Amino acid sequence: MEKIKEKALKSGASKVYIEDVKEEFVKEYLFKAIKSRALYEGKYLLGTAFARPLMAKKLVEIAHKEGAEYICHGCTGKGNDQVRFELGIAALDPTIKIIAPWRIWDIKSREDAIDYANLKGIEVPVTKEKIYSVDKNLWHVSHEGGDLEDPKNEHKIEMYAIVTPPEKAKDEASYVDIEFEKGVPKKVNGKELNPVELIEVLNKIGGENGIGVIDIIENRLVGMKSRGVYETPAGSILYEAHRYLEYLTLDKETLHFKEIISHKYTKIVYNGLWFTTLREAIDEFIEKTQENVTGKVKLKLYKGNIIPAGVESKFALYDKDISSFGYSEVYSHKDAEGFINLYGLPIKIKAMMKMGMIK
């Protein structure tokens, strides 16, 4: 924290606020991510996108404390974050004006930014030789830039910060039990943990087993494609566990409709529209779906793979007696014939029309 303060002062700040907002981040943002299964373009768990509205909120709070009329951010003019920050700030206080040096100064590249930092004696964790843009928080670590900008290049496993490369992970599988209450993870391997500890523990377990690395070419909000490598071990485990529990506890129509809603929710978060009525309304719907998402999920972790190894819930909608091929008082095999006749009637009528059987 002292290094952060020192860097801020060297960068020109007259006063520094340092707040630990990890618990708020988990409870108010990441738990919503898990319950909604927000997954951008099928892969990205939105570690950056979920962090930005909280940061915008804190920026506005501090601006109000200081009576500031401007907020300055260091986002590039090509990225999504400039949109996320500025929409968040505008939603909370539309009178605050924005200063974005990347869009004003003669800094055209990360190399230029490094030169500027060196000129001013500001330490930065990158060099021109290792010029990855890294964003790290409790949920993920992202890597962009450098040789990743050429999609034909395989990403280097040496960049990993919290995940052991799968080929170097331990040779025996690890099992992990996760218990949920109304869609919220509460226990890991039988031990109740506070929200921050739970993420930290699963990051460690997942990281040791090579879990949670994705390499994606994503469609940015600002119109271009970009490539990123993301490490999200705890998130990958929790998404898989939560989804498996939903398979057991949600009825078909709710589960399938939630998939549609999840896609829209993901775009809202990714596109910086957190502080909107639509996002709040979708969260209300998702909360309703989570009323019975309570139970325990067992997963096997092995060299980057997450394999379901068991699930149980007092709200399970699966009944082995009904689902088995044997006799059931609830379901009669004979009923299937009538169902098929009615369900397939439109198909049958269309075929009859094509054959000239309908006059």
Mean pLDDT, to the nearest integer, of 38-51?
Answer: 98
Burial of residue 346, with CB atoms counted within 10 A of its CB: 0-12 exposed, 13-18 middle, 19 or more buried: exposed
88 annotated among ligand-binding-site residues: no
Predicted local distance difference test score (pLDDT) of residue 332: 79
305 annotated among ligand-binding-site residues: no
Distance between CA atoms of residues 17 and 19, nearest Å: 6
Whether the Cβ atoms of residue 102 and residue 74 lie closer than 8 Å to each other: yes
pLDDT tens across 84-110, in order?
999 999 999 999 999 998 888 887 777
218 annotated among ligand-binding-site residues: yes
Predicted local distance difference test score (pLDDT) of residue 326: 62
Stretch (H or E) spanning 64: helix 51-66
142 annotated among ligand-binding-site residues: yes
Domain 2-50+106-312: CATH class, spelled out? alpha beta
Predicted local distance difference test score (pLDDT) of residue 100: 94
74 annotated among ligand-binding-site residues: yes
Distance between CA atoms of residues 75 and 84, nearest Å: 10
User: What sign does the CA torsion over 264, 269, 273, 279 have?
Assistant: positive
76 annotated among ligand-binding-site residues: yes
Greater confidence (298 vs 102) lies with 298
Q: Where are the domains of the chain?
A: 2-50+106-312, 322-354
Q: Is 253 helix (H, G, I), strand (E, B) or coil?
A: helix
Give the whole-number percent of the chain exceeding pLDDT 70: 98
Whether the Cβ atoms of residue 85 and residue 76 lie closer than 8 Å to each other: no
- Quick one: tokens of 268? 């809202």
pLDDT tens across 322-335, in order?
777 666 677 778 88
pLDDT range class, residue 353, cuts 50, 70, 90:
very high
Pairing of strands 97-99, 70-72: parallel
171 annotated among ligand-binding-site residues: no
User: What sign does the CA torsion over 16, 19, 22, 27 have?
Assistant: negative
- The number of beta carbons lying within 10 Å of the beta carbon of residue 355 is 8
121 annotated among ligand-binding-site residues: no
Q: Helix, strand, coil proportions of the chain in percent (round to 5)?
A: 45, 15, 40
Whether the Cβ atoms of residue 206 and residue 237 lie closer than 8 Å to each other: yes
Whether the Cβ atoms of residue 179 and residue 313 lie closer than 8 Å to each other: no
Distance between CA atoms of residues 13 and 164, nearest Å: 37
230 annotated among ligand-binding-site residues: yes
* Phi, psi angles (nearest 5°) of residue 38: -70, 115
DSSP-assigned letters across all residues of 275-286: SSHHHHHHHHHH
pTM of the model: 0.93
226 annotated among ligand-binding-site residues: no
pLDDT at 127 over 80: no
